Structures are given as structure tokens and as C-alpha cells.
A and B are shown apart, each in its own frame.
Chain A
């Protein structure tokens, strides 16, 4: 039976007035790396906590490997590995002691534990730091230790909540390489992130904002859904140009990306780039070149959010 690794069916959750999740449905396939992308407060953490049985939903259901989280939380806890957003290991315990503790919590037999610890230490390259206290590790190493602890019982499903927030770029890349290795080993992974570049490393993505899933699919599928045009503008005075466009259009339509400004124009917008170009020139802003750019995930996400906001 090829059941979904994670199945989320019309999940609802509100905190008093605020709606955290409004009827969210997702399907994550076995062996897939699925990215849940959204800004802070989009409902990512609520969704993850419901999945890990830490939080009860108001309505709806979720199943992990076919097991209902709401009905059999204890069974679910045995098969998932969970890495919360905050570093939540014991800073006064050493790397080895933390691993040992979590192995014992999951009742990993001694022989297996030793073998697994060896494996995890080597692939996270924490081996030389076994005797170091977790509190004295660097940010990147802490994340790798947290991941190792979440993996000590060889879970089939791994759930990570913003694992690379606040981690330096080199460690982030290394962390994603580890996730890729795990995925290739057959682990289904659900990962949330606010970073678009990370999202593109996932097999499939869902964009979430204010408790709604705005789009889901592969990165290519999602960007196809972008219905406007993205213009890349080059100028000697990028900040001034970006500032002018932000003022003229909506701030969410304008982004500075390195040496260029991306301006997204939706298909139903009254302005055309020709008019805007002339207007900007009249204002004394120099635009060297204008190119049509391929819409990225971020452009798509922004346009989707903007669309949603315009009734």
C-alpha cells in the first residue's frame, strides 16, 4: 500500500480571534522532501505542532504513514523525528549524553544505539566534539546535533521547523546536503522555511500565508502559475529606482536582487512597463536596461499574496 507519508485533511486551528490554519489539506509522498514556505505567522509552526501531536486541531485530521495523529498519538511519536524551531537540547549535557538520552527515550537497543550514534556523528561531523557540552557548540553544530537527536531512532518521517533560521550560510548549505542524503536514504521530510532559495531544493513546495495554502507543486509548476511579467531593471542608482517603484506601485512588487531591481507587473495591471519607464525618466531616474526575467518563487509568492489581498 503506497500510503502518503503525511496526509493533512482540512485542518483548522484558531487562537481566540486569529485563524492560524483555515482548512489546510496537504499530501506528502513517501521519500519526498516537501517544503512549507511562508512568512512568520503564516501558520507553519501550528501545522507542525499538530502533526507532531503537540497541539490539538479544532477540526480536520492528519495521518502519518496511515496512522491517525489524533487517535494514536503515541504510535505516531514512535515513527517521527521532530526538530523544533528553537534549539531544545540540554546545554549542560555533552553531545554524546544528549544523543544517549534521546536514544533511551525512544528505547533504542544498546547495540543499535552505538551503531546509530557512530553513523550520525560521522555524517554530521560532530565526532570530535562528543565530549563537548551542547551549549558550547556553534549555531550550525547545534542544529546538526538537534538533527542527529531527532534521527537517533531512525524515524521514517522527519519534520523540521525552520531548521536553518539563524544559521550561517555555509552551515545552512551543509545542513541541506545532509537532508538530501537522508531523503536519498528513503526518509520522508517535511521542512518549513522562510527562505526561498532553500525552498527550491525541495521536491515539492506549498506556499502558505495567513493559514491558507496559496499554491502547491514543484517549483516549476508554481512559477508557471505566475500570471504577470517580471522585469529586471539595471541602473546606476538602484536604491533610488527601487524606492520610486515601491512608491509608485505596491512595495511587494519591487525587490532589489543584487545588481538589479525586479518589478513584477500583474497581467491585469493598468500600468505598462513602457509608461512606467517614461515616467521614471521624467522624474530624473536613470534606467540603463530593462529585461524580461523568469519569475522566481519569490515573485510568484508575492503576486499570490497580493492577489489574495485584493478582493
Chain B
């Protein structure tokens, strides 16, 4: 396959890469930057929620409850007050996002009934945290009431959800593999489309086409070097995510890396296709960014689960390579899946890649228009 004309093309491409260290640096730094932004900003864990406490009971039991809340990493008590009417002021002045009112008869009711006797008021403008505050408080109260009713009678039965594969519900474990999928498809498409567009723009493509070169040699000559480069970027960001964000690796590295090669190939195929549509580097860049990032973020299941999309969008999501790769990478890293479980996604992903590349080869013309 590596015939005597392909090697020089590949060698030439690596010279281009080497002579442009700034772009190379950007290629490796951009993923780190994006990981920081996404990894930390899309933190769906709530911690240090500011709450206010209005203790009307003033009993050891109520103080015990307040201490429990204060000790947890999820809550910071920012206001203690004794007039329940002040509660609203906490929200309007954005001092707290939730408030807890412990009634005067708290200790008595706690002894009598297992029902949580406490008023929780949450700021509904931030629906996400309101729900979480409520859920969390409920949990605290349950354990609290269990502790209090040491006699054991009247133990309340509660449903408790256990999260498999991501037991601590750490968002980073969920988000980082998604970012890997996002970055690889973007970088792969961007690299190939821009380098081909550059040759068209500067006229070197014209010079190459006048030589006895074959179309597949032109395409492979571009694909192979950037496949190698993008693969190294993939390894780099995977290791970075594993070490910095402590994303677990339950499956095998080698399986993941092999799947990565095919995913990167699919990304390059998209880049090739884009390069056959455009004439300048700028347009190639724009089209690659919009064409990969937007669908990969919105429709792949990175943010919104595919299953909850309307049917037409679910169909569209199937031709987005990131959809399949997300299943693969989350499966391998978080669930410890192997090829046996993942082959349908693998086939679908590679199929999309083959589809794009054959479209690109078909559209690639050895002529000028």
C-alpha cells in the first residue's frame, strides 16, 4: 500500500507539521483548555449551596440537625435567624438559595412521627439546585430521623437510588469522555480540510495534479499523516483526562485506542468531504467547526440523552460519529465494556466513516472546474 509515491507525500506532510510548531502547540493545548472549561464549568454536582436556617425549636435535636448540615460539603449556612418572615429577603437579596425552617415543636414531632417535620423553601428560579437541595435534605432527614429514633420502631421505608458505574455522580467522569469525543472529531476534520484547502488556495494542488499521481494517492497522502497526528492527540487527551480528572479506566486501554483509530478515521473522512466542497482555508475551518461541534454537542448524547430526543433527531443522531463513539468510550472507561458489547456501535461508527470517505473520493476531482 505504501508505494513509492505515497511515502514522499506523507514525508512532505510531516515536514509541514514540523515547520509549524505554533499550530502543533495549539493542537495540543486547545484540548487541555477545553477540558478545563468543560470539565469544571459543566460541573453538575452541587456543592457549597448557601442556605439560611431559621431555628424556632432551639433544642438539642434541632442543633444537631443544623450541625449535620453545616458539616456536609454540600451546604454552607450563611444566615441564622429567628423570624420566618425574613426568609424571602434571603432569596431576593441572593444571600441564600434555600432556607430551612425548623418549627418550634420539632423535637416533639420528631419523637412522635417519622415524617420530616421541617419546612424547606428553595429558590425556584434555579430549578436544578432547588431539586437537588430538596433531595439532599430529604436524605439528611431520613438518616437523622433514623439516628433519633434509636428504638428502631417506625423505621421509614425509603427508596434509595444507587448510581451504577458512576457511584459518586461525578460529572467529570461523564463529561470528560464526551469532550474526548468532541475534540477528536473536531481536530480530525479541521486538520484535513484545512490542509487540503490550503493546497487548493496556494495553487500547489494544481501543480500536484499535473503529475502522474492517482486520486487515491492524494487522499491517502493526506489521510495517513493526520491520522497519526490525531491519534497522538487522542492518546494525550485520554491520559490527561485519566490523570487530571481521575476518570476511571475500567476497560482496556488497547481496546479504547484501537476504537480511537477508527473514530479518528471517521473524523478525517468528514474533513476530506468538507475539503471537496470548499476553496479556501477559512471556509474549510468554519465548516469543520460548525459541522462537527454543533451536532456532536447537541445531538450525540453528550449533553442531552439520545433516547429523549424526538424520533427524527434520533435518526439524525445515528449518522453523527460522536454518538457511537460516546457509547464506546463511556462503555470502556466507566463500565469496563469490551469489543463483545460494543461491536454494534463500532460498526455503525466505522460505517459512517466509510460512507463519508467514499463520498469524498467520489467528489474529489483530478480536474479544475
**Interface residue ranges, A against B (CB under 8 Å):** 49, 52-56, 73-74, 77-78, 80, 82, 84, 86-93, 97, 100-102, 104-107, 133, 149
- B residues within 8 A CB of A84? 203, 206-207
The reply to whether B208 and A105 contact each other, CB–CB distance below 8 Å, is yes
Verify A77–B212 contact, CB threshold 8 A.
Answer: yes
Determine the distance from Cα of A77 to Cα of B206 in the docked complex, in whole angstroms. 12
Q: How far, in Å, is A106 (CB) from chain B's closest CB? A: 6
B22: interface (CB < 8 Å)? no
Expressed in whole angstroms, the minimum distance between the Cβ of A55 and any Cβ of chain B is 6
Q: Encode B182-220 as 1/0 by CB contact (under 8 A) with A.
A: 000000000000000000001110111111110000000
* Cα–Cα distance between A52 and B7 once the two chains are bound (Å): 25
B residues bordering A, Cβ < 8 Å?
Answer: 4-5, 7-9, 12, 15-16, 19-20, 202-204, 206-213, 366-368
Q: Which residues on the B side are within 8 Å of A56 (C-beta)? A: 367
CB distance from A114 to the nearest CB of B (A): 15
Q: How far is the CA of A91 from the CA of B204 in the complex (A)?
A: 10
A92 touches B15 (CB 8 A): yes
Question: Can you sample 16 A-B contacts with CB below 8 Å?
Answer: A78-B212, A82-B207, A86-B202, A89-B207, A90-B12, A91-B202, A92-B20, A93-B19, A102-B207, A104-B4, A104-B5, A104-B8, A105-B213, A106-B211, A107-B212, A133-B19
Q: Contacts A89-B204, A104-B4 hold; do A55 and B211 have CB atoms under 8 A apart?
A: no
Q: Which of A80, A86, A107 contacts B4 (CB 8 A)?
A: A107
Q: How far is the CA of A259 from the CA of B210 in the complex (A)?
A: 45
Residue among A53, A87, A133 making CB contact with B210, cutoff 8 Å: A53
Q: Which residues of A contact B213 (CB under 8 A)?
A: 105
The answer to whether B211 touches A102, judged by C-beta atoms less than 8 angstroms apart, is: yes
The answer to whether A88 and B15 touch across the interface, beta carbons within 8 angstroms, is no
Indicate if the CB atoms of A54 and B203 lie closer than 8 Å.
Answer: no
The 7 A-B residue pairs with the shortest CB-CB distance in the complex, in nearest-first order? A88-B203, A104-B8, A105-B211, A92-B19, A86-B203, A82-B210, A77-B212
Separation in Å of the B166 CB from the closest CB of chain A? Answer: 46
| Cα distance, A92 to B209, chains bound together (Å) | 20
Shortest distance between the CB of B167 and any CB in chain A (Å): 51
Q: How far is the CA of A105 from the CA of B15 in the complex (A)?
A: 16
Q: Whole-angstrom distance from the CB of A80 to the nearest CB of chain B? A: 7
Assess A90 versus B209: contact at CB under 8 Å? Given A54-B368, A105-B8. no
Of the residues A55, A91, A93, A100, contact of B367 by C-beta under 8 Å: A55
Known contacts A54-B367, A105-B208, then 20 further A-B pairs from the complex at CB < 8 Å, ordered by chain A residue: A53-B367, A54-B210, A55-B367, A74-B212, A78-B212, A82-B207, A86-B203, A88-B207, A90-B16, A90-B204, A91-B202, A92-B15, A92-B19, A93-B15, A93-B19, A102-B207, A102-B211, A105-B213, A107-B5, A133-B19
Q: In the complex, A57→B103 CA distance in Å?
A: 92
Task: Check A55 against B368 for contact (C-beta < 8 Å).
Answer: yes
Closest to A88 in B: B203
Query: With the chains together, A77 CA to B210 CA distance in Å?
Result: 6
> What's the Cα separation between A268 and B223 when bound, in Å?
65
Query: Does B206 contact A88, Cβ atoms closer than 8 Å?
Result: yes
In the assembled complex, which residues on chain B have CB atoms less than 8 Å from the CB atom of A92?
15-16, 19-20
